[in-house]
Every structure is written in C-alpha cells, then in structure tokens.
Amino acid sequence: MDWFKTLAPMLGTALAGPLGGAAAAFIADKLGVQSKTIEAVSEVLNSGKLSPEQISAIKMAEIDFQKFLEQNKIDLAKLDVDNTKSAREMQIGTKSTTPAVLTYLITIGFFGILGLMMSDIYKASEPLLVMLGSLGTAWIACVNFWFGSSAGGQRKTEMLANSTPSR
C-alpha cells in the first residue's frame, strides 16, 4: 500500500501504526464502508477499484484526520518512537531472549524462503509470495527494533530537498 502513503501520508502511516483503528474509521466514513476495521478498509483500498470521487474522499479524510491529530495534540512520529522505545526498555528490563530468538527465526525464514525461490527449488506460488511478504515486513520491524528507524533520515532528506540554498 505504498501508493496509499503517497496519496494520504498521515492516514497511511497511522493505518499501519498504533492509531490504525482511528485512521480506518476516518477512511471508512469517507468511503461509505460499513465495517470501520483496518481489514475492511484495507480490502477496499487494495481492490484497485477506487473511483475518482473515492480518491477525493480519501484526500478529505486525510485533511480531517490531520485536524483530529492537531486538536488532540497527537504526534504520529512520537508515537512510533515511544512504541519502539518501550519495547526496547522492556527487553532490557526483563533480559528476555525472546526478541533475539524471534529475530533469528524471522531472518532465517525470510532469507531461506527467498533463497529457495531464487534457486527454483520452490516455484513462486501465491501462498509462498504472501508468506515471503509477511516475513519481509516482520524482518524490517526486527531491524527497526534493533537498529532504529530511518524515518528521521528520510524526513531530513525531504527537508533538505525542499529547502532554498543560501547564497
């Protein structure tokens, strides 16, 4: 759903994060989706059958969602950082080996399936591709947990690209 983050960046970010339910409700209201769940909204967005009116409605939902965030003083980037920070603090406090074991299993699974598919041992079937996509997403989350997010770097790059050079 990268295209959606381009169309509605705040809703796209929120839909995949801790405010997913709120973002789904905003989108569902504008698109007329009965069920205001992330799954129902994602299904409509991934259908590839959005009309121009629905795309305009999504842009309106983005504006309304931005107003909602401002009124309630919610910072999506801070929520993401706090979420990762609390997970790291929990891991340090409990000295649990579970995050490390899961990271190893996910890494082995992701690159193992990828390698098998590239070597033609397994043919790319739809369920295998879904599994690879899920493992890839989980692997990115693991890397983010251990090494941090590059969101700040991306934001800095955007700011530099939009700035006016001094003379």
What is d(CA 2, CA 12) in angstroms, rounded to the nearest whole number? 8
pLDDT of 104 reads: 95
Show the tokens assigned to 71: 């009124």
What is d(CA 135, CA 157) in angstroms, rounded to the nearest whole number? 28
pLDDT of 123 reads: 79
- Residue with the larger pLDDT of the pair 118 and 84: 118
pLDDT tens string 33-75: 888 888 888 888 887 778 888 888 888 888 888 887 777 776 6
Phi, psi (degrees; rounded to nearest 5) at 164: -100, 125
pLDDT of 95 reads: 79
pLDDT of 166 reads: 60
Q: What is the mean pLDDT of residues 68-87?
A: 68
pLDDT of 73 reads: 72
Q: Where are the domains of the chain?
A: 2-71, 81-162
How many H helices and E strands in the chain?
9, 0
Which segment of 10-19, 35-44, 140-149, 157-166 scores lowest on mean pLDDT?
A: 157-166
Which segment of 7-11, 33-37, 123-127, 156-160 scores lowest on mean pLDDT?
A: 156-160
pLDDT tens string 99-146: 889 999 999 999 998 898 888 787 778 888 888 888 998 998 888 878
